[in-house]
Amino acid sequence: MSETAGPMSDHTDRRTAMPSSPGLIIGVMVVAAFVMILNETIVSIALPHLAREMEVDTTTVQWLISGFLVTMAVVIPTTGFLLERFTPRQVFLVAISSFCGGTLLSAVAMSFPALLIGRMVQACGTAVMIPLVMTSVMKLVPANRRGAMMGTISIVIGVAPAIGPTVGGAVLAALGWRWMFWLVLILAVLLLGFGIARLHVPSETRRVPVDLLSVGLSAIGFAGFVYGLSSIGQGGGILPPWASIGIGLVGLVVFVWRQRRLQAQDRPLLDLRTLNHPRYRLALVLSLFLFMALLGAGAILLPIYLQNVLGHGTLVAGLALLPGGLTMAAVARPVGSLYDRVGARPLVIPGAVGMTVALATFALLGASAPLGAVIAAHVLLMCSLGMMMTPLMTDALGALPDDLYSHGSALLATLQQVAGALGSAIFVTVAALASLHPAGTPDAAGLRIAFFVAAGIGVVAIGVALMFKRPEPAPVEPVTIVDGGRQG
């Protein structure tokens, strides 16, 4: 097989280097994605330090996280088009190069605007890498082994952001904040060099014209919506949160209308025919609840609870999250292998129940909880999310035909980011409004209510999980008897 890029037709073969083995291709992409997604949350533990270093207030420095999310939400919807138009090798090299450039800019930044721009350039590469890995697995791995391989991707998507604060806290304490970027840059440059030398992916491309109006509508819609949600939790932004959300929703409605029209010409930027498949829709909905819990409650509320309520320092708070992250890593591949045998239903139902119980436990722990109890509840949460993440990704993309893999993975990754921003906005806002502290800073009372709201969303997730059907048994060939013998 060979990489193809058709300058004169949709499918024109062009001989290049011998294709790499599927294991090498996916391995390199998974490592790259892990490094890039780890970077998404690695600075979260250092935000108070960076606010002092860059001489900005707490609300402003939060945009090092929110700006990353907004950029991801803008870029990911375009990856369905990119993965059709360019080869996986080209997309990988551009993504990792963009990430290296942004990381270097962040490492040497002398002002907050330069640091923010560096983070946003990093996000451009990260946004492309996630759908690239998902699509590559669906195309290169046989159907009966996809669950196990998606388990590895779950480690990337779920565990990397979970242990980011732990890694960031350790590096900050030992070396200083710039080394959070220098160490990541060294790894990224090594991956770039390896990709140039060894990564050759068998592929076909299709010359699809880019619809610039769709790109603009996607940017306005997703960026406006995520920006508005992020502003709610941070006391507002350039525009009032309601205005940003309203502009974003209008942009999304027009974007969907535009894609529906372009689908008739087989050239949408993001093909929404993926939503015509019931299994994909169901897995997508449950994934939204999962990422609201993972990013909204696990990555935002819990660190606030550990530091503001229980009074632990950044290093202890970061280390307290490590067992949960390691637990998710430990269950990811076994759950994927189990999915290959039993399907999604026996895994997502107990996963949704465990998620709900863990979130309710956080609400009940209170202001004098022992650290061990918090760690145990977090381990339960991450184990439960790990039981759901792999089956949901595999079941969603497995329901699609081959030509929709790239668009299905792009939509799934986009809405995961939106769900994370939505969960953060809802939970932080509830915590602030319900707090007894006069400044609206989340306290024990506010966080208690916020965790109960998260548990309520978990109850809804249980209802969605119960809608999953058992996998249909494989068809059995009819057997007839011919001359005393068996014949199929």
At 336-373, the pLDDT tens digits run 889 888 889 999 999 999 999 999 999 999 888 999 99
pLDDT of amino acid 480: 47
pLDDT of amino acid 488: 46
Q: Name the amino acid, one letter, at 95.
A: A
At residue 305, the 3 state secondary structure works out as helix
Tell me what percent of the residues of the chain surpass a pLDDT of 90: 26
* Average pLDDT rounded to a whole number, residues 453-461: 95
Beta bridge partners of 485: 482
Give the whole-angstrom CA distance, residue 421 versus residue 295.
Answer: 8
Q: What's the maximum distance between 2 C-alpha atoms anywhere in the chain?
A: 90
Beta bridge partners of 480: 487
Element (H, E) at 473: none
At 220-235, the pLDDT tens digits run 888 888 778 767 655 5
At 125-172, the pLDDT tens digits run 988 888 888 788 777 777 777 777 777 777 777 677 767 777 887 888
At 257-292, the pLDDT tens digits run 998 888 887 788 888 889 999 999 999 999 999 988
- 163 contact partners, CB below 8 Å, separation of at least 6: 38, 321, 322, 325, 326
Quote the mean pLDDT of the chain.
82
Contact 336, 152 (CB under 8 A): yes
Positive or negative: CA dihedral 338, 341, 343, 346:
negative
Tell me what percent of the residues of the chain surpass a pLDDT of 70: 88
Give the whole-angstrom CA distance, residue 162 versus residue 340.
Answer: 26
Query: Residue 78 is encoded by which pair of tokens?
Result: 């375009």
Give the whole-angstrom CA distance, residue 24 versus residue 456.
Answer: 42
Length of the chain: 488
Contact 151, 328 (CB under 8 A): no
pLDDT of amino acid 472: 61
Beta bridge partners of 13: 4
pLDDT of amino acid 2: 41
* Average pLDDT rounded to a whole number, residues 57-75: 77
At 173-182, the pLDDT tens digits run 788 889 989 9
The pTM of this model reads 0.78
> If we measure between CA atoms, which residue out of 249, 26, 241, 276 comes closest to residue 129?
26
Domains of the chain plus CATH, in order, are: 22-467 (1.20.1250.20)
